[in-house]
Amino acid sequence: MDIPADDITYLERLRQGHEPTFRWLVETYQQRVFRTALAIVDSAEDAEDVAQEVFEEVFKTVGAFRGDASLATWLYRITTSRALKKERDRKRKKRFAFLTTLFDDTDTLRHDPPDHQTPQTTLERDERTQLIHRAVATLPETQRIAFTLHYQEELSYAEVASILETSVAAVESLLFRARQSLRKKVSPVHL
């Protein structure tokens, strides 16, 4: 099936429940959604969960989408929102588990073990990439998201601003501060 390049046509087909168009959407954006989620949640398993939730939400809410942004921007917004929620929930769960262990007679740790990267992900990253990844993970939330969307997903400042629902100037400022912070943390690597 030939999918036209026009978002309006995609939206109409998605709203009509056209299964081949939905499959096309998933195939086209699945890796981008996963990579964006992974930059926020830092666990391949959680990123896969987020990606699945994103496409479920698209399927359920496409009728309510006003079309005031591109399909890609809408997907990135949903991804960012879902990933941030997943990360907040994970942190809340860990805090609760820690508090529980303080009062637990059995001294049993009741939270999930730390997430580990998959062997494939570990093999794909060299030492420098890992260093940068760890440094990016320490950035404040909005800087980390802006940095990921612009540098990893190669979105323009305007697209990042639309996803974060802020101005282009604010995105420029976030990226400037992120680069400054990363330069300090990863001095021998030029960003």
Per-residue tens of pLDDT for the chain, all 191 residues = 344 356 778 888 888 888 998 999 999 999 999 999 998 887 899 999 999 999 999 989 888 887 777 888 889 999 999 998 888 877 666 554 543 443 344 433 334 444 445 555 444 445 666 777 788 888 998 998 899 888 888 888 998 998 888 999 999 999 999 989 888 887 654 44
The C-alpha atoms of residue 32 and residue 149 are separated, in whole angstroms, by 10
Q: In terms of Cα–Cα distance, which of 34, 38, 32, 40 is closest to 139?
A: 40
Residue 36 is predicted with a pLDDT of: 92
Q: Which structure tokens are listed for 68? A: 């005031």
Question: Residue 148 is encoded by which pair of tokens?
Answer: 């990921």
Distance CA 75, CA 69 (A): 10
Tell me what pLDDT residue 100 has.
Answer: 40
Where in the sequence of the chain do the CATH 1.10.10.10 domains occur?
A: 125-185
Domain with CATH 1.10.1740.10 in the chain: 1-112
Within 10 Å of residue 4's Cβ, how many Cβ atoms?
A: 10
Question: Which of the following CATH numbers is that of domain 125-185: 1.10.287.130, 3.30.160.270, 1.10.10.10, 3.40.190.10?
Answer: 1.10.10.10
pLDDT score recorded for residue 31? 94
Q: What is the pLDDT of residue 126?
A: 59
Report the alpha-carbon distance of residue 84 to residue 82 in Å, rounded: 6
Domain 1-112 has CATH 3.40.50.720: no
What global pTM score does this model have?
Answer: 0.61
CB 110, CB 104: distance < 8 Å: yes
Residue 67 backbone zone (phi > 0: left; psi -120 to 50: alpha; other: beta)? left
CB-count exposure of residue 185 (10 Å: 0-12, 13-18, 19+): middle
Do the beta carbons of residue 120 and residue 44 sit within 8 Å? no
